[in-house]
Amino acid sequence: MSNILTDNTRTRRLAASVLAGVVLLGGMAGLSGTAMAAGAGTITLTAPAGETLANHTFSAYKIGDYSGYADANANGKIDSTNVTNAAGTQAWLKAALAKAGLSVDSAKGLDEAGTLAATTQAAKLSTVANALADAANKPGAVVADKTSNTGSLTLNVPGEGLYLVVDSDGLPIIVGTKINGKDLEKQALGTAVIKSTSISVDKEGSGDTTIGKTVHYTATFKIPQKSANPTKLSYTDQPTNLTIVRNSLKIKVDNQAAVAVPSQAIKWNQDGGFTLTGDSYLSDATYGKTVVISYDATVTGKDPHNTGTVKATLADKPKTAADEVTLANFDFDLAKVKADGRTAVKDAGFVIKNQAGKYMKLDAASGKWSDMDAKNAAEAKAAGAERLTDAQGHLAFDGLGDGTYTVEESTVPSGYLPTPASFTVTIKNGKASVKGTGLNAGLTGGNANLAEDGAVTVKNLDSISQLAQTGATGVTITVAMAGLLALGAGGAWTLRRRTAQDAK
Cα separation, 378 vs 370, in Å, equals 17
Integer distance in angstroms from the first to the last C-alpha of the chain?
56
Domain boundary among 269, 292, 326: 326
Cα separation, 12 vs 5, in Å, equals 7
Residue 21 shares a structural domain with residue 88: yes
pTM of the model: 0.71
Cα separation, 297 vs 358, in Å, equals 22
How would you write 20-33 as a 3-class SS string? HHHHHHHCCCCCCC
Cα distances (Å, whole numbers) of residue 333 to 117, 260, 408, 412: 75, 42, 14, 18
Provide CB contacts within 8 A for 248, sequence distance 6+: 294, 295, 296
Residue 2 lies in a domain: no
**Residue pair 410/377 in contact by the 8 Å Cβ criterion:** yes
Instruction: Classify residue 207 as left (phi > 0), alpha (psi -120 to 50) or beta.
Output: left
How many residues are present in the chain? 504
Which one, of 257, 251, 292, 249, lies nearest residue 274 by Cα? Answer: 249
Residue 469 shares a structural domain with residue 482: yes
Query: What residue type is 191 in one-letter code?
Result: T
Residue 183 shares a structural domain with residue 208: no
Domain boundary among 158, 193, 228: 193
φ/ψ of residue 348, rounded to 5: -80, 135
Residue 495 lies in a domain: no
Which one, of 467, 465, 462, 466, lies nearest residue 477 by Cα? Answer: 467
CATH number, residue 402: 2.60.40.10
Cα separation, 123 vs 101, in Å, equals 11
Axis crossing angle, helix 16-26 with helix 122-134, rounded to the nearest 10 = 80
Residue 5 lies in a domain: no
Q: Are strands 80-85 and 201-207 parallel, antiparallel or unpaired?
A: unpaired
Cα separation, 460 vs 319, in Å, equals 63
Residue 32 shares a structural domain with residue 173: yes
**Domains: count for the chain:** 3
**Residue pair 311/319 in contact by the 8 Å Cβ criterion:** yes
Cα separation, 332 vs 431, in Å, equals 12
Residue 454 lies in a domain: yes
Check residue 179 and report its DSSP letter. Answer: B
**Residue pair 360/371 in contact by the 8 Å Cβ criterion:** yes
Residue 448 shares a structural domain with residue 346: yes
Cα separation, 30 vs 41, in Å, equals 13
Cα separation, 290 vs 255, in Å, equals 9
Residue 306 shares a structural domain with residue 373: no
Domain boundary among 151, 175, 193: 193
Q: Domain span at residue 334?
A: 330-488
Residue 208 shares a structural domain with residue 308: yes
Residue 61 lies in a domain: yes
Residue 245 shares a structural domain with residue 311: yes
Residue 18 shares a structural domain with residue 132: yes
**Residue pair 212/265 in contact by the 8 Å Cβ criterion:** no
**Residue pair 15/79 in contact by the 8 Å Cβ criterion:** yes
CATH number, residue 277: 2.60.40.740
For residue 132, what are the β-bridge partners? none
Residue 366 shares a structural domain with residue 314: no
Residue 451 lies in a domain: yes
Residue 421 lies in a domain: yes
Q: Are strands 455-460 and 484-488 parallel, antiparallel or unpaired?
A: antiparallel
Give kind and range of the element (H or E) at residue 19: helix 16-26
Give kind and range of the element (H or E) at residue 477: helix 477-480
Residue 218 shares a structural domain with residue 82: no
**Residue pair 355/367 in contact by the 8 Å Cβ criterion:** no
Residue 1 lies in a domain: no
**Residue pair 403/354 in contact by the 8 Å Cβ criterion:** yes
Residue 178 shares a structural domain with residue 69: yes
Spans of the chain below 50 pLDDT: 1-38, 439, 442-456, 460-504
Axis crossing angle, helix 90-99 with helix 122-134, rounded to the nearest 10 = 130
Q: How many CB atoms lie within 10 A of CB 115?
A: 25
pLDDT at 440: 54
